[in-house]
Structure 1
Amino acid sequence: MTNQSKYHPAIKPYTLQDGATLYRFTAYLGVDPLTGKDKIVTRSKFATAKQAQIALDKLKYGLNNGQVPENNRKSFVNVHEEWDVLYKESGIVMSTYSKTEGYFKNHIIPFFGDMKVAKITVQHCEEFAVQLSKKLKYFHHIVNYASDVMDAAVRYNYINSNPFRIAKIPNEQVQEKTDNYLEIQDFKVLLDYCKKLDLKSYALLRLLMFTGMRKGELIAITWSDIDFSEKTLEIYEAYSYSKHNKGNNIGLTKGKRSRNIVLDDQTLEVLKKWQQEQKNLFIQIGIPIKSPDQQLVFSNSVNNFIKLDYSNQLLRKALDVLNLKYITVHGLRHTHATQLTEAEASLISIQQRLGHIEKTNTTDHFYVHVTKKVKINTLNSLLTYLAENNIY
């Protein structure tokens, strides 16, 4: 029996104890472009010399294209760990990171797990997406996270291409139009009811109803953020809880952009009364009052942050009493946006008041600034609209 293959001198047969013949090779592939060192590999257990030749050709091709042979053994979990380090430090809020962590733990890792990234095929990607589509109404964001990890594998030269890029992903179900907002008549009913609540609850719900601010932003505001003489509220921080925050739950607002909005006189008057009542309550129970830049406008019984769901609980209780349809605090934000639109406020002024990232043309983005006059006109348009509906 010859000890050399006609396909390649490095491919040699060897005989097992049962008499079967297999093929193996030890070959010099060239210089590793990543390390600059010679690359020698050994492979065995090929049934034919032709199979060994194909494997050897693939290794050579892979090395020449920046794919290091050892990287073929990188598992999806390995790459995810590397991806996760950068993702966690990318500037996302930790509450978002916690959600993403859940997507990987509950959906992505259980499917791909220890699969070698070099072995993940288009079929695997499509099967993963199909399984998700049978369990979840909205799943594309989870598929995108899995694809991001595979993109990282491409960047790190573990694979040459991302199979997700050519996979056929099922469509999500058509999103039904939500009605997470209050009609103007129900808004009036809710506002009239809030006026009968304790001052803290009224101030909190009214501020949400007349600003459309996010609940995380509401939790973070301090008295120094409210300028009673200028009639403005500065919003630049937001509260978000995550086990990864290590107690540092205050960060930038969504979109990482601060905004200054004008408040109506009645809301300011309610806030001023609540400020004095808050002081009196703290004095009665012996809790030190903090400086204006540290004292939260809405705090709990020990002068710390209220729970993230506190405002939703207040709103839910009110809606139950009034037998109105259930909406969330974010629904009050939708309501405010709807009212501003019906009041014919300009798009850019609505975006500014709500803290949305402007997705307009370059001229608007760089040269159109929302001046104080525009902000006042926006509020006046809203107040005129509400007055026409017997609200204020």
Structure 2
Amino acid sequence: MATIRKYTKKDGTKAYMFQLYLGIDPITGKPRKTTRRGFRNIAEAKTALSRLELEISERGLPTSQRKIMTFQEIYELWFEQYKTTIKESSAFSQRANINRHILPKFGTLKLDKITTPFCQAQVNSWFKTIKNYHNLVGITRQILEYAKVMKQIANNPMDNIIIPKRKNTLDSKREQANFYDKQQLKEFMQALQDHSSLQMLVIFRVLAFTGIRKGELAALKWSDFDFSSGTLSISRTIAKNEKGKYYFQTPKTKNSLRTISVDKETMNLLQKWRNEQRKEYFRKGVNIDATDELVFHNRDSGTVQSTLGGFLKRFTARYDLPPIKPHGFRHTHASLLFESGATIKEVQDRLGHENVKTTMDIYTHVTKTAREKTAEKFAKYIDF
């Protein structure tokens, strides 16, 4: 609410002034006011007041009344509400990405000094060096949009950037090949049987023959298996919080909550591993039947999730096997399912894909590989 009043200047002449209440500062929590003086008559003061009120409603507070924050300051405010909308593990991951890639570039800058050319330069830099650069672009845009909502800036400088697009390079083709064909999987499993522990053999048998995610695998308990019906229920995954501690949480998507069938040989191996685990716990004085223990464990962290990548890298190199990452066994399972005649819907349900596009991407890759052998199959059939 504004008040216009007459006052006497130092030279004895009369003039008009007004004081406009601007509300509570959302940053400091203190009331804000602005005062304008020196108007010759009440009409002049009213005109100036109306213009100021219109300007504030359209553009926010005048610069003189605003505390222009740094990017770091607005980020801290934004993150407090953002983390309530995502899982704890995702908040941990995003904070790490922001601290590593965004704040070193933007953190100390005043928000009104961040320009579109500056943002474009950072986006171009991320594109050249970071695989998931789209995530950094999206997060930076969200933070600056929050600054706009908070009336710190009039426009979001990220709105007009051009996002670079990757070409289908050799690197991306190698990345697509992160899976085994039937013969490669057979050779890998045989090497595990000959040269590794029973636990590792069972772990990769489960990954390759069920297609579950490594976080889902690490969270498995014996109660998740129904040995009489030959099924496995997926209801949780393991994640890491900001303090670096592992904890259980619901799976990636609602479609990830699923029950799938498991083949007899995998179930037999699991039973064999369960008996070995019981003996191990018995030696330690623990009755595994009285506790709902994890199916797989690691001596140091209690979870195998963090050790699988390192094991695979060493094992495949030592026994001259094609390199593969833990997630590659999920792709392997999907690819071999398609080759065995499974439908797209069956694969989607089994892998817990929320979006059929994810399943289709794998299907397209598999059929592309098959197309390359079409001419050879035809010539072999004709045989002349």
Q: Which residue of 2 aligns with 1:68?
A: 61
Q: Which residue of 1 aligns with 2:200?
A: 201
Task: Identify if the C-alpha distance between structure 1 residues 71 and 344 changes in structure 2 by more than 3 Å, giving closer, same or farther.
Answer: farther
Q: Unmatched 5+ residue regions in structure 1?
A: 1-25, 43-55, 361-392
> 1:225–1:233: 8 Å Cα contact kept in structure 2?
yes
Q: Distance in 2 between matches of 1:154 and 1:215?
A: 40
> Is 1:107 matched with 2:97?
no
Amino acid at match of 1:266: E
How far off is 1:131 after superposition? Answer: 3.2
Match of 1:146 among 127, 140, 150: 140
Task: Identify if the C-alpha distance between structure 1 residues 91 and 64 changes in structure 2 by more than 3 Å, giving closer, same or farther.
Answer: closer
Q: Distance in 2 between matches of 1:352 and 1:270?
A: 24
Amino acid at match of 2:57: N
Q: Which residue of 1 aligns with 2:9?
A: none
Q: Which residue of 2 aligns with 1:300?
A: 298
Amino acid at match of 1:200: Q
Measured against aligned partners, the alpha-carbon deviations of 1:211-243 in whole angstroms (never above 9, x if no partner) come to 111111111100000001111101111112233
> 1:118–1:159: 8 Å Cα contact kept in structure 2?
yes
1:1-392 superposed matches below 5 A: 30=20, 32=22, 39-40=33-34, 62-65=55-58, 67-69=60-62, 70-71=65-66, 73-94=68-89, 96-136=90-130, 138-172=132-166, 174=168, 176-177=172-173, 178=175, 179-196=177-194, 197-244=196-243, 247=245, 249-256=247-254, 257-289=256-288, 291=290, 294-301=292-299, 305-359=302-356
Measured against aligned partners, the alpha-carbon deviations of 1:287-314 in whole angstroms (never above 9, x if no partner) come to 342645x211112348x72342333344
> 1:72–1:118: 8 Å Cα contact kept in structure 2?
no
Q: Distance in 1 between matches of 2:270 and 2:58?
A: 65
Amino acid at match of 2:335: T
Amino acid at match of 1:120: I
> TM-score scaled to structure 2, two decimals?
0.73
How far off is 1:348 after superposition? Answer: 1.9
How far off is 1:283 after superposition? Answer: 0.8
Task: Identify if the C-alpha distance between structure 1 residues 118 and 231 changes in structure 2 by more than 3 Å, giving closer, same or farther.
Answer: same
> 2:221–2:294: 8 Å Cα contact kept in structure 1?
yes
Q: Which residue of 2 aligns with 1:7?
A: none
SS in 2 for 1:89: helix
Q: Distance in 1 between matches of 2:75 and 2:161?
A: 20
Q: Distance in 2 between matches of 1:306 and 1:348?
A: 32
How far off is 1:359 after superposition? Answer: 4.2
Q: Unmatched 5+ residue regions in structure 2?
A: 1-15, 26-30, 37-48, 358-384
> 1:215–1:308: 8 Å Cα contact kept in structure 2?
yes
How far off is 1:157 after superposition? Answer: 3.3
Task: Identify if the C-alpha distance between structure 1 residues 167 and 320 changes in structure 2 by more than 3 Å, giving closer, same or farther.
Answer: closer
Amino acid at match of 2:305: L
> 2:178–2:331: 8 Å Cα contact kept in structure 1?
yes
Q: Distance in 2 between matches of 1:59 and 1:123?
A: 31
Q: Distance in 2 between matches of 1:122 and 1:225?
A: 52
> 1:348–1:358: 8 Å Cα contact kept in structure 2?
no
How far off is 1:264 after superposition? Answer: 0.3
Between the two proteins, what is the percent identity of the paired residues?
Answer: 28
SS in 1 for 2:288: coil
How far off is 1:163 after superposition? Answer: 1.8
> 1:74–1:158: 8 Å Cα contact kept in structure 2?
yes
Aligned length: 318
RMSD: 3.1
